[in-house]
Amino acid sequence: MSVCEARSLKVENILYRGKSEFQEILVFESSIYGKVLVLDGLVQLREKDESAYQEMIAHLPLCSIPSPKTVLVVGGVDGGVLREVSRHPSVEHIDICEIDKMVIDDPRVHLHIADATEFLRLAPEGKYDAVIVDSSDPVGPAQELVEKPFFETIARALRPGGVLCNMAESMWLHTHLIQDLISVCHQTFKGSVEYAWASVPTYPSGVIGFLLCSTAGPPVDFKNPVNSIEKLEGALLRELKFYNSEMHSAALVLPSFLRREVSEVNLQRRQDKSARSSY
Amino acid sequence: MSVCEARSLKVENILYRGKSEFQEILVFESSIYGKVLVLDGLVQLREKDESAYQEMIAHLPLCSIPSPKTVLVVGGVDGGVLREVSRHPSVEHIDICEIDKMVIDDPRVHLHIADATEFLRLAPEGKYDAVIVDSSDPVGPAQELVEKPFFETIARALRPGGVLCNMAESMWLHTHLIQDLISVCHQTFKGSVEYAWASVPTYPSGVIGFLLCSTAGPPVDFKNPVNSIEKLEGALLRELKFYNSEMHSAALVLPSFLRREVSEVNLQRRQDKSARSSY
pLDDT tens figures, A197-211: 999 998 889 999 999
Nearest CA in chain B to A170: B201
pLDDT digits (tens, 9 = 90+) for A115-160: 888 999 999 999 999 999 987 654 444 456 568 899 999 999 999 9
- Provide, as residue numbers in chain A, all residues whose Cβ is less than 8 Å from the Cβ of B199: 171-172, 197, 199, 206-207, 255
Predicted pLDDT of residue B138: 47
Amino acid at the residue A178: I
Tell me the torsion sign for CA atoms B20, B24, B30, B32.
negative
Nearest CA in chain B to A3: B10
- Provide, as residue numbers in chain B, all residues whose Cβ is less than 8 Å from the Cβ of A32: 2, 4-5, 173
> Chain B contact for A53, CB < 8 A?
no
Domains of chain A and CATH, by start: 11-46 (2.30.140.10), 49-277 (3.40.50.150)
Helix (H/G/I), strand (E/B), else coil: A235 = helix
> Chain A contact for B259, CB < 8 A?
yes
Which residues 6+ apart lie within 8 Å of B273 measured at CB?
A: none
Measured in angstroms, the CA of B197 and the nearest CA of chain A are apart by 10
pLDDT digits (tens, 9 = 90+) for A85-102: 999 999 999 999 987 776
Is A134 a known active-site residue?
Answer: yes
Restricting to A residues 144-173, those with a Cβ less than 8 Å away from any Cβ of B are 171-173
Instruction: Using the predicted structure, report yes or no on whether residue A225 has a pLDDT greater than 80.
Output: yes
> How far, in Å, CA of A44 to CA of A80, rounded?
11
CB A91 within 8 A of CB A69: yes
Burial of residue A169 (number of CB atoms within 10 Å: 0-12, 13-18, 19+): buried
Measured in angstroms, the CA of A110 and the nearest CA of chain B are apart by 30
Nearest CA in chain B to A254: B247
Decide if B199 and A197 are in contact by the 8 Å CB cutoff: yes
Of the candidates B121, B114, B110, B81, the one whose C-alpha atom is nearest the C-alpha of residue B99 is B114
Predicted pLDDT of residue A4: 46
Measured in angstroms, the CA of B252 and the nearest CA of chain A are apart by 9
Instruction: Using the predicted structure, report yes or no on whether residue A172 has a pLDDT greater than 50.
Output: yes
- Complex confidence, ipTM: 0.84
> How far, in Å, CA of A169 to CA of A246, rounded?
22
- Provide, as residue numbers in chain A, all residues whose Cβ is less than 8 Å from the Cβ of B32: 2, 4-5, 173
Catalytically annotated residue among A134, A180, A221, A272: A134
Mutate to test the interface with A, among B51, B197, B205 (most CBs of A within 10 A): B205
Query: Helices (H), strands (E): how many in chain B?
Result: 8, 12
pLDDT digits (tens, 9 = 90+) for B121-171: 999 999 999 999 987 654 444 456 568 889 999 999 999 999 999 999 899
- Provide, as residue numbers in chain A, all residues whose Cβ is less than 8 Å from the Cβ of B3: 10
Question: What percent of chain A has a predicted confidence (pLDDT) above 90?
Answer: 53
Q: What are phi and psi of A166, to 5 degrees?
A: -125, 130
Amino acid at the residue B65: I
Instruction: Give the residue numbers of B marked as catalytic.
Output: 134
pLDDT digits (tens, 9 = 90+) for A251-278: 999 999 999 999 888 888 888 878 877 6
Spell out the per-residue pLDDT of chain B, length 279, in tens.
333 456 666 777 887 888 877 778 778 787 767 777 777 777 777 777 778 999 999 999 999 999 999 999 998 767 889 999 999 999 999 999 987 776 677 889 999 988 888 999 999 999 999 999 987 654 444 456 568 889 999 999 999 999 999 999 899 988 888 998 999 999 999 999 999 999 999 888 999 999 999 999 999 999 999 999 999 988 889 889 999 999 999 999 999 999 999 988 888 888 887 887 765
Decide if A6 and B4 are in contact by the 8 Å CB cutoff: no
Measured in angstroms, the CA of B160 and the nearest CA of chain A are apart by 31
pTM metric for this prediction: 0.86
Decide if A33 and B242 are in contact by the 8 Å CB cutoff: no
> For A93-99, which contacts have Cβ atoms below 8 Å and span 24 or more sequence positions?
A93/A69, A94/A70, A95/A70, A95/A71, A95/A128, A96/A72, A97/A72, A97/A73, A98/A74, A99/A22, A99/A141
> How far, in Å, CA of A47 to CA of A68, rounded?
28
Tell me the torsion sign for CA atoms A230, A232, A237, A242.
negative
pLDDT digits (tens, 9 = 90+) for A32-76: 677 777 777 777 777 777 789 999 999 999 999 999 999 999 987
Decide if B240 and A256 are in contact by the 8 Å CB cutoff: yes
Bridge-based pairing of strands A5-9 and A24-30 is unpaired
Of A4, A207, A259, the CB nearest to B10: A4
